[in-house]
Chains A and B, each alone.
Chain A
């Protein structure tokens, strides 16, 4: 099985990893950031935690489910997936205008403010799109 990370040039993956490192470093409540292919492969993650691969697969499943649910409810395109748990928040966003489709999943601890988390995740997603298109 060819990992999704092998489908991108090394310099692009380096740029993606740098952005994930920066996202986590500048937002101390973020405990994990994972870029995932639509079919559930981890492309890059920071930090390099064992759970990153499973979070990648789960985020693609949940994103596909949320899109199916939005379609079923005639709500057009699903944009964000937000999971608010007792001790933290997970945000999954599609990275815009990339083929094959990729998404960014971010796990944050409970003290992070949702609006701020969405803003930094969206900013990172846009920066990732620029890197991946380069």
Chain B
């Protein structure tokens, strides 16, 4: 499907707990996001005060009139039933990874495989936050990690608190959607 103006798109933000999904949606949503954060008692897994248990929801209107509905998933595997629900009808997935985590690469493989399985025909774009990339080598490792699973996805070094960084992920996803569109759609668009 080609991305044209005056249409609605659904994009899902996925990734492990603490990767910045809620922050990313807050950074770009035109309206105050709907949040389902509660106190986090599992400080051993991730030392943060709150955690999303159902979804985040925000909205973004692009310059061409495209309305993007932004859904954030809970990160923990026990909420995987929400992943399936939220991925229904999604145009693509933005996978966020905490680059400072010692489990970053294994998290990437696990979540990329899981969400690719849920959305096999939909593009995946990867944002690595808190990464210490000095020469790009680390990003190559992330790209290689997903490629080793047969998944092709662009990888970006991002600060999800920065609107421009999150928009870059969304624009990349939209570019992939356009590139995947049949010729007829391009001609019509």
Chain A residues near B (Cβ < 8 Å): 1-2, 4, 7, 37-41, 53-54, 57-58, 60-62, 64-65, 67-68, 72, 100-101
Contacts and interface: CB of A to CB of B under 8 A. Distances in A.
B82 A61 contact: yes
A55 B34 CA distance: 23
A111 to B, nearest CB: 27
Interface residues of B, number: 21
A98 to B, nearest CB: 11
A65 B40 contact: no
Interface of B: 34-42, 44-45, 51, 53-55, 74, 76, 78-79, 81-82
B41 to A, nearest CB: 5
Given A57-B79, A61-B36, A39 B42 contact: yes
Contacts of B74: 40, 61
Name the prevailing secondary structure of the B interface residues.
loop
B78 A40 contact: yes
Contacts, number: 63
Contact of A61 (B34, B40, B44, B53): B53
- Please provide the 6 A-B residue pairs with the shortest distance between their CB atoms, ordered closest to farther: A64-B36, A38-B38, A61-B54, A57-B78, A65-B54, A64-B54
Name the prevailing secondary structure of the A interface residues.
helix
B16 to A, nearest CB: 13
Given A60-B53, A61-B53, A2 B42 contact: yes
A53 B39 CA distance: 19
Contacts of B42: 1-2, 39, 41
B79 A100 contact: no
Nearest to A62: B54
